[in-house]
Structure 1
Amino acid sequence: MDALSRAWESRPDRLEACYELAARLRKMHRYRAAHAVVSAVLDREQPDDLLFMQPWVYRWGLLFEYSITAYWVGDHAASLAACDRLLGLPDLPETYREQTRANRAFAVQRLTEAADAPALV
């Protein structure tokens, strides 16, 4: 984690380390920390660097992590919107597309449950 945060500090325009940091935090069930990291860099442009670029991180990787962490921090509407954006990407790999469909269904279920809950007066 320290090496990833140092890499991000040294090259703040390069987000591959940021993606890895958010993904690892999420896998450790540290959803709020992961969400804070990915939210800080979501939708940034890919830099003009040539060496060791991972274009998928900028196109859909960070958004995929965001879609998951948004769900776990309770922002189900943001998770649903992120899933819809991901599903609209023609280059999203099929395994990620399948997971995004499942994640979308979870978000829809939570939003439906919230809408059906009786209002507190």
Structure 2
Amino acid sequence: MTNLKKLISAKNAGFRTTTLTVPEWGGITVVLREPSVGAWSIWAETLRQIEDNNDADDKHSKRIRAEAILFASTLCDEKGNIIFDGEYDDLIANYGPVHSRLLNQALELSGIGKTPIEDAKKK
């Protein structure tokens, strides 16, 4: 018989995941999971703060930083461990279209769009 408590509380039991091959990174396979509530909340709050800012350059750099950190919360190794642990500088400096595409796929796992604030206003 399955131990329900153990099953439910297992690492990543509360997250949908997908495994993808990334041709741009030499064909490696990565595991993406949907963002945690905490990571998504920080991202959404950062986007809200960015909307209130009038400096276009500052908006751009803050948006990239927020997106890169959210991406980092979704990228796992084959055992389901988050790869990034607070070390985001290199990721932010090199964040590009491949990262963004992968983040979009992780967001799709949870049904969160790239414009969560605008989406919420439509409801």
Which structure shows the higher strand fraction? Answer: 2
Instruction: Tell me if both proteins adopt one fold, taking TM over 0.5 as the criterion.
Output: no
